[in-house]
Amino acid sequence: MASLLEKTPSDAAAALRSAGVQRAWLARDPDSGRLCGSLPELEPVARAIEQDADAFAGHEAIFLELGQQTGCLLGAFIHRVERGQAQGGLRHWPYETLRGFLRDGLRLARGMGRKAALAGLWWGGGKGIIARDETRAAALPGWRRAVYSDYGRFVTSLRGAYITAEDAGTTPLDMAVIHEHTRFSTCLPESVGGSGNPSMITATGVVRAIQAALDHVGAGDLCGKKIAMQGGGNVGASMIGQLLELGVGQVVVAELCADQRSLLLDRFDGEPVEVRRAAIDDQSILAEPCDVLVPNALGGVLSDKSIPSIASRIVCGSANNQLASALRDGRALAARGIVHVPDYVANRMGIVACGNEQYGSLADDPMVERQLGRDWDGSIYSTVRRLLDTAACENITPGEAADFEADEMIEEPNPIWGDRARLIVRSLIAEGWERG
């Protein structure tokens, strides 16, 4: 089973299926604190996860299933649950190896826990992953619906330990399919009472974080500034529109998708927006001289390879897990005098907008709006200013300052439900969830 980690997710799923395994879990032992698995053969996988300090941080559990209709590898990653049930978006993405699949889920779940805590939400950290099938089967009619139907049933089987939502590769329409099979879902379309696509409000939150970072370094407001942006998808496009309204001098955006590039060119025709074609693995936009570098694509782009060429004083974007290695690369940025706003501080508004939608909705919801102002101590602007000031005063990185504050908040027990989420996880394991 150790070799599973270096297999593609599809090959790993095939190996599990051949061994008669439909479901598996890895969970933290309440006595030793170590990871244990539903199969003895998962022992080396558990040890490898524990040794990855950038990914593993006392996670409660990982649940894995092979989709009932599609056979796709499905995962639910649960970080800490003191504040409540694990909640986080569902990423539908290709991975080269099972190791990469597991690592991404663990890192994203931890980030969600910290994000929810700093936002004042009573949720734990969670993340869903579907390993995207790159074979011809994925092009069959009805395949996508089958994939999300599988995931909905998977979430239902976890009995509320994990609440799923939208993330990269998943749309509100996909969430509607999931909702047909589980009630443990958020970021649903407005047509079924949900909050819809959170891209616009996520973009607003990142803009607030940029404004706070500019204030911190004494650079004034956004007027006349040059912004370099990696990724111009839904969130990036919304950001561009808002930045232009605030008077930025120029936006240079690198975008991989040809269709999205065309949309950007049409939408911002006549505006000071340059749209560049980005090829896979093209990181040249990170070296663009600018006032603010905005990573909006996938994680790991700030690394020992890219950081030396960054020509911006501030890095602040919507992408999750921007640092390839949190401690090493955070310190490398600080050593160059570059202010990096931790991603889970800046991009929180997606989960803020949809996380509590089951409690009903309000126009101009004050619980949402306070996140975007400057009066509340927990707002994005106030949090960024506080963390950057703390980092400068204590000679640590902004990421270290954010992690310390968030991890303290993560330990606060839910005032209503207490330890219920952890009890659900342990009951699933005690009752033999893996046997279906």
Which residues are designated catalytic? 127
Q: Which two tokens stand for residue 137?
A: 């089967």
In Å, the largest CA–CA distance within the chain is: 63
- 250-255/273-277 β-pairing: parallel
Residues 124, 413: contact at Cβ < 8 Å? no
Q: How many CB atoms lie within 10 A of CB 3?
A: 11
Q: What does the block give as tokens for 266?
A: 């049409």
H-only helix segments in 131-196:
143-157, 172-179
Among candidates 221, 200, 173, 114, which has minimal Cα distance to 372? 200
Say how far apart CA 397 and CA 391 lie, in whole Å.
5
Cβ atoms 286, 310 nearer than 8 A: yes
Quick check: helix, strand or coil at residue 194? Answer: coil
At position 176, the amino acid (one-letter code) is A
C-alpha distance from residue 355 to each of 114, 188, 217, 368 (Å): 14, 10, 32, 10
Nearest to residue 50, comparing CAs of 59, 39, 63? 59
Q: Which amino acid type is present at position 223?
A: C
